[in-house]
Each structure stands twice: as structure tokens, then as C-alpha cells.
Amino acid sequence: MQLFFADTLDFDLCTLTPAESHHCVKVLRLREGDTLHVTDGRGTLCRGHLVASDSNACQVAIDERMEGYGRRPWNLHVAVAPTKNADRIEWFVEKAVEIGIDAVTLLVCDHSERTTLKLDRLEKIVVSAMKQSLKAYRPQLQAAVPLRQFLEEHRSSDACKLICHCDGDRKTLQQCYTSGRDAVVLIGPEGDFSPEEIAAALQSGFAPVTLGDSRLRTETAALYATVALNFLN
């Protein structure tokens, strides 16, 4: 399956973005009449055929439309502090999208060494990973917010709220999480969450969890949690 991304699939004829059109014509060398699939990242997956192989604006005639393609009955939101090395958090985002995630929020914490990332670059990684893994839902990417603001925004959430940190009394993911529930997971920076941040998270209803005896890098911990929760579901 050749999967492409389009901003909208509201009509029987859609136009690919310049970047997608270039990939379609110049890289994959598709021509008029060739079959391809297109998603809008909101759950719609369409099978169609190419009617105009323009490297700047390919046009696709929609032959079949599938709504809610690959919809999952639960939602996973990982909030993670950006790593000092931007490549590592980009790696996490790519792999998490391929495995299955619904939202990623970047956190600014007391021990953060990096507070910003290029969101436009991360968005491109998200779309590329979505297409690579043949998904029809594009995960939401949210700009960096202070941890305490994030806690306040999710104080009344009905999701299973988990904070992964290194010390103290903690339970395993299996002990805290029931399959089918929405989940919000907090992953701290290289220096871990501060004691004050952990206390604030607990007061906001987050349960402390351990990811095992190994000390994990930030991006490894975030991916570990993503894989584990997908496995439990």
C-alpha cells in the first residue's frame, strides 16, 4: 500500500501537497491510473487512482472511502521533557507514532536542559511515521508547557494518570493500569522530576510507577511506556 497525506478528503477529488506530490511523482514514479491510498490524518482512509501526475499538485480521484480506519478504543497521551540532544526526542516521536500513540506533549520541568524543539520538524516526522505504519490518525503534537500547567489541565481527567520516576514507592504499569482505559503518562528530563514536581503530580491524581530496575534514558523510558501500554491493550 502506498499511503499519502492530504489536508482534506471532503470531495471525490483531492490534491496532494507539493511535498507529497513530489514524492509520488519523482520518487515513486507513479503515473495516471496508478492506485494509491490517501489519509487526512483524522481517521479517513481512501483508495483512489492518480488522474494528474503533477510534481507540485497531484490529483487523486477517490474510489473507496473508509471512515474510522484503525480506530482504537483507548487513548494514549505521553507528556515528556525534551532531551538535550534533539535527535533523541525526535527518535521517540517517530517510533511512538509507528507503535501507536494519540498525543505527545513536551514538558518544561525543573531539571530540563532543553525547553524548545522545532515543532514543524516534529510534525513532519509525525506525518512520515503515520504513513510508514499505515495509520489514518495523525497524533496531536503539543508545544512545550510547564509541568505544573499540564497537571492543572489534567487534574479532572478520567484517564489513568501515571508518573514514571526513579525513586520512592512505586508500582508497576500492570498494577496501575487496566486495559481499555485512556492513559496519560509523564516522563521527566535526564535529571528526573524534582521532589516538588513528583509531589505536585501525586496531588493531581497521578500514580507513581516504575519501569523496572534499569535506569533508562528519557526517550527510552517514554518509548518503553508506549510499548508496554500498547501491549497491555
> Which three-class secondary structure string do you get for the chain?
CCEEECCCCCCCEEECCHHHHHHHHHHCCCCCCCEEEEECCECCEEEEEEEECCCCCCEEEEEEEECCCCCCCCCEEEEECCCCCHHHHHHHHHHHHHHCCCEEEEEECCCCCCCCCCHHHHHHHHHHHHHHCCCCECCEEEEEEEHHHHHHHCCCCCCEEEEECCCCCCEEHHHHCCCCCCEEEEECCCCCCCHHHHHHHHHCCCEEEECCCCCCCHHHHHHHHHHHHHHHC
Could you tell me the residue ranges of all domains in the chain?
3-66, 76-232
Give the pLDDT of residue 117: 85
CB 14 within 8 A of CB 6: yes
The confidence band for 56, taking pLDDT boundaries of 50, 70 and 90, is: confident
Give the pLDDT of residue 66: 95
CA gap 135, 118 in Å, rounded: 23
Give the pLDDT of residue 1: 83
State in words which class domain 76-232 has: alpha beta
Please report, as a single letter, which amino acid is at residue 74. W
CB 198 within 8 A of CB 165: yes
pLDDT beyond 80 at 60: yes
Give the pLDDT of residue 45: 96
Give the pLDDT of residue 88: 94
Give the pLDDT of residue 166: 75
Looking at the chain, the whole-number percentage of residues with pLDDT higher than 70 is: 100
* Structure-model confidence comparison of residues 115 and 233, the more confident one: 233
Averaged pLDDT for residues 87-111: 96
Domain 3-66 has CATH 3.40.50.620: no
Instruction: Tell me which residue of 49, 48, 50 sits closest to 64, measured CA to CA.
Output: 48
Considering the entire predicted model, what is its pTM? 0.92
Give the pLDDT of residue 215: 87
The pLDDT tens digits for 163-186 are 998 787 889 999 999 999 999 999
